[in-house]
Every structure is written in C-alpha cells, then in structure tokens.
Amino acid sequence: MTLGTNQDWWPEHLRVELLDDNARDVGPLDEDFDYAEAFESLDLDEVKADIEDVMTSSQDWWPADYGHYGPLFIRMAWHSAGTYRTWDGRGGASGGRQRLPPINSWPDNINLDRARRLLWPVKQKYGRALSWGDLIVLTGNVALESMGFETFGFAGGREDSFKGDDAVNWGPEDEWEGASQDRFDEEGDLDDPLGNTVMGLIYVNPEGPQGEPDVEGSAHNIRETFGNMAMNDEETVALIAGGHTFGKVHGADSGDHLGPEPEAAPIEEQGLGWDSDYGEGKGPDAITSGIEGPWTTAPTKWDMGYINNLLDYEWEAHKGPGGAWQWRPVDDEAKSTVPDAHIADESVDPMMLTTDVALKKDPEYRDVLERFQNNPDEYQEAFAKAWYKLIHRDLGPSSRFLGPEVPDEEMIWQDPLPEADYDLIGDEAVAELKQKLLDSELSTFELVKTAWASASTFRGSDKRGGANGARIRLEPQKGWEVNEPEQLESVLDTLEGIREEFNGSQSDGTKVSLADLIVLGGTAAVEQAAADAGYDVDIPFEPGRTDATQEQTDVESFEVLEPDADGFRNYLGDEHERKLEEILIDESELLNLTASEMTVLVGGMRTLGVNYEDSDLGVFTDEPGTLTNDFFVNLLGMDHEWDPVSDDEQVFELRDRETGDVEWKATRFDLIFGSNSRLRAVSEVYGADDGEEKFVRDFADTWSKVMKLDRFDLE
C-alpha cells in the first residue's frame, strides 16, 4: 500500500479534517445561489412529463425491462433514500450522494449508474434548478405514478453535494459484501450507528444472513435494519411489498462476469462501472444481484400480485442461474405465468427472495401481510405514507419542503411545531427580558447550560433537534442524564415564571415563547460574561421559536438524539468504544462546526464553567463565569505536565513541574486541544497575548450560530 495521507501514516490520527466541509463549499455553485428559489421557479408538471418520457423510451444501450424504466427508477430512488439511519441522521437522499463514492460503487447499486445516465437529459435541461438529490427522488415518485400507484406527495429542497460524506461510518469491513462480527454487538444486534447488516448493501443480504436462505435470521435482520430507519413492522411490510410489486432482479449468470465498479473502472468507461462480458451484458443478459426473476405477473402495474403470490403459493429455496439462493413456486399453477422482460412470447416463473419469504414466515410480519391482503385500500395508503417517509426522512421539518405537491398533513416524524398566534417581541422587550433573566435567581452557568442543552441537539445531517420547540422541557429530553434533570426542572420553572409574568403584562398581544426565552437567557449570560472580562459584545437575537407539545413529539424517535457523551459540557457518559475526542469531532460535525468554531466553543464553555454537574474538569481559570481566554493560556503553557488518573485515560491531573502539586483536572475533551497539531495551532491564536478579544468575539459569533441552526424560517 502506498502511504499518502495522514490516516495512512498514523491510523490513530484524529480526523479533524471532517470539519473542513463545514468551513467551505467544494462545489461550483455561487455562494449567493438560492436553490429553493430556483426550484420553486420550475414547472413541476413539465419536469414530471419529461421524466415520464425518458421512462417509457427504451434505449438500445440499456434496454428497459418490459419496455419501462419505472422499476429501475424505483430501485434508484429507494437506494438513494434508504441509506438513512436514525442513530446519527446521516445517509439518505439529500445531497444526491448516490452519484458519489463510496455509494456509487456499492455492489447493491450495480447498474444504477445507468439509471442516472438515462436521466441526464432531464438534469441537463433544468440545470441548477433541479438537483440530483431531488431528481432521483422525484423520478421514483413519477415511476410509481406511471405504473398506476397514487403517491402521497413530493417535496423538493435537497441541495446537491459535490463530494461524498466522509463523516459517515459505513462499517468495519475492508471488502464489499462483508459482514464481520465487528459489525454486531455481543447480542448479535448492529452496532451504532450502522444501519445495514452487510458492507455495500442498503439493508440486508437478499439471499439471507451470510448468504444462506435462513428466513428466521433474515426476519431479524429486516426488523433491525428497518427499525434503524425508524420504520415499524407495518411500514416495513408496506415498503417491501410495495417496492417488490414492480420489476425484477437480474442474475442471468454470476457476478464473476462483471468488471470493476465505477470508482475503479478505466477512464474510457466515463464513470460507468460493472461492464459485463456475459452475452450482450444488458437486457436478458443483465447481471446485478445474481438473483434472477420477477415477483409478479404484471411487473409494471400496481396491484396485489406480490402479496397474493407470496401468501397463496408455497415456495422452495434453490440456486438460480446466477448461483445465488432464491425461491421458486412449488405450485404448478404459479409457474410460467410472467411474460419475459425482453423476449416476446416467452414466459418465466415468478420468484421470491429469502427476505420476501421471511415476511411470510415471521408471525408479526405475516399478520400485516394478511391484513393488507384483505384490505387493499389500507395497503395502498400504508405504502404511500411509508414511501413518502422513506424519501423525505432526512429532509427535516416541513418548513423546508418545497413545491406544489407537499401534502397538507404533517407527520409526527417531521417534528411538527405550532404556528405563533401572537406578536413577537421587539427590541425593547428583548432588552427588558434580558435584564429580568440576569436579575433572576439563575446563575450564568444555569442560563448558558440550559440554552446549550436545548440548542445542541441539532443535527445537520437530518435537520432534527435544536432549540425551536423547547422540547428540552418534554420527554424524553427532560429526563436525559446529560441534562441533569433535577437542576433543569428548577431552571425551567424559573424561566416559565418569567415568561408567564411577561406575557400576562402585555396588552398588545405580544408574547414570548419558552423556546425563545431559553435562548435569550443563554445569550444574555454570554454577553454578561464577556462584559465581566471587559468586552462589549451584542449577540443578535431573532425571536420566532415556538413551543411544541408532548403530542407533537415522538418520544422513541427523539431518544436517538441523546448524547452518549458531550465534549462541550465535559460529560463523559458511560464506557465508549470510541475515544472521547472522536466523539467530540462527530458531534461538532453534526453541529456544522468548523475546527476553529469547535475550539472556541470548548474554550469558552470551560471558562464559563458550564460543565456537567458543575465539575471543575477543564476549568483552567480562577474566574469561572468570566469569558476569558484562560483555558488556552493555561493549557498551552509548559510549567505543568499531565498524568492520567484512570486506566482508561479519560481523566488527567495537571501538576506543577517543580512542586508536583495538582492544580487542575481535565479530560481528553480538553487535552486534545494541546495534543492535536491542528487544534493546537488554532488554540495558539486564542491563547496568545493579543488573542483574548478575538476569542471572545469568535465565541459570541459561534454561540449565535448554534442557537440559530434550526431557524430554517430565517434562511
């Protein structure tokens, strides 16, 4: 192996560079380009008509099965959106990353490069106004509608990325279609944050676990992987049954005939991969999964064929022409009932995957299948809503949804918020409330800590969390250990009293939400801490947050936002497989922070004394609560040395080099800013004699950024 990157030379190297994507846009679009405005200018009916024209015009270079590309395009859209996982919100259709490595070269995406090339004329026509992310998903919807299905709706708003997301952990394996034991925990469940059981596959192995036709094991894997996408049993069955109503799988022979994937293909292939030397390599000779055959008798029509075939016939496992395990009907009446996809006047048998038969054999899944079979309208609605959820799960709240086909109904998984039915506070009221908050019994620590706890749940990956909604007062957030529930309840009671008093005193319809008051309290405290250090800062405050209800909050869905550890509050949590500094990088990446912003935030939070349980870990100052650069000054000096105080080397003592006296304690969250070369370089700017004012102003700017991460209404 040629050693070229820091990671190659030093495998334990901290990947600070993951934050660089938050510092710059690597794409060619102008900084002031407004994608939302451009998308809204489209005639969506015209776009859909153009897509349908492509869909029904078979090309000789890649002939359409049954003369219709609809099934191929459904697979394309599904495999784009289906990479989403709830644990960290990464993956999904946003960014159009299916066209970028590594996803463009996953073995589960064989020949989807052809699907996107078929769509290039549409993309070319509409240019920047229609992102690949939106086009891929919209094409899936048009495909369903073209084949007789009524979709629930479509929203645009997925801005394209121009590089893969290096922050995503896809798994520990170093080869495609591997499923090492390191992917699973001691109970056999997927390790967080992984969403798929096999490297390079969207969900599970269609042949069954480890390539064996084990229906029980397959059902377990299906339930886990779809659950990691926040799909329940009904949604899971609806998605699999609905998706497998259309098209076929391709295994004319084994995958040994396929050339390298797109990222490894020779230059003359121009970004296409998997060139096949089997027959003509296309049409009846096409190879993707190595499994061969259709599911239903009418593969380009929405009907009950999949469920009826699965439940009404018996199926037996065998190895198909591609050498992969698949299932064929035992009943003679089911055989030779499907028109061949390319050869006129020929018929073939339907088939099922191990994952299909698993739905029939699993008692809970079978109950759903039988209910759908007896209630086709219920099945249609369930698939429509599950599909809508699948393709929009990573798009965030409905306020970000664009276009004329956005449904009026708002789903619980969209984290709905109420509309403000009152006038928002103005500058005078903001100043009045700031003073009330500072004059209250609440300390700087409490005000800052509560605002941080509320806002820092935001994830840039799927646009969930954040201060809007004040869900910190609701289950499950109010009970999270990191939020110190007892102290939090006391702070919220005081804030609620201030809010009620203010709102009750207004005769003009002006009100303040608790969500706004929480952020305002933290902001006022930061300004005061800066003033105590001798600096006058004015942090912009934009009212407009509203307060969600418990009924608008899916408790189970929000549980995945609970941090295992928080480097900004020096909350260590329980044991971790990752080092604490790796967790800090990960949470900073999800907060859209740059390396400099992460550095200034940690340094500021320490001097403010905003630690879990008010510990003194990393509080390298004699003036906690005052916004000074003491954290950096004392960390970077050479008058001290650090010693670990535990075997896990998470907590350290700082000792005077001459006397050996312990002066401070700290964690890996703190020491990394002196240890890592890049973070030390940033820290030196803030720890210099002329660095304090810059530190204070940068902290104020970054604080403001975090408080507004979920304010999509301000974009």
How far, in Å, are 299, 330, 417, 618 from residue 314 at the CA level?
Answer: 20, 5, 48, 65
Which helix (H) or strand (E) element contains residue 223? helix 215-227
Catalytic residue among 13, 68, 79, 220: 79
Instruction: Name which of 169, 185, 187, 341 is nearest 249 in CA terms.
Output: 341
- Residue count (the chain): 715
N-term to C-term CA, the chain:
46
Q: What is the C-alpha to C-alpha distance for residues 62 and 285, in angstroms, rounded to an integer? A: 11
79 tagged catalytic: yes
Q: CA 175: distance to chain centroid? A: 24
R_g of the chain, CA atoms, integer Å: 28
Edge-to-edge strands of the sheet including 640-644? 640-644, 651-656, 662-667
CA pseudo-torsion sign 54, 57, 61, 63:
positive
Q: What is the C-alpha to C-alpha distance for residues 227 and 388, in angstroms, rounded to an integer? A: 16
144 residue type, one letter: L
> How many helices (H) and strands (E) are present in the chain, helices listed first?
23, 9
The answer to whether the CB of 699 falls within 8 A of the CB of 670 is no
Which helix (H) or strand (E) element contains residue 86? none
Q: What is the dihedral of CA 506, 507, 511, 514, to 10 degrees?
A: 40
- Residue 339 pairs in a beta bridge with 347
The answer to whether the CB of 565 falls within 8 A of the CB of 576 is yes
Q: What is the DSSP string of 554-569?
A: -HHHHGGGS-S-BTTT
Q: What is the C-alpha to C-alpha distance for residues 387 and 221, in angstroms, rounded to an integer? A: 20
Alpha helices in 324-375 (DSSP H): 354-361, 363-374
Alpha helices in 469-579 (DSSP H): 485-504, 514-532, 555-558
Cα angle for residues 33, 39, 45 (degrees, 5° grid) = 160
Q: What is the C-alpha to C-alpha distance for residues 229 and 235, in angstroms, rounded to an integer? A: 10
E strand spans, 195-260: 248-249
Active site residues: 79
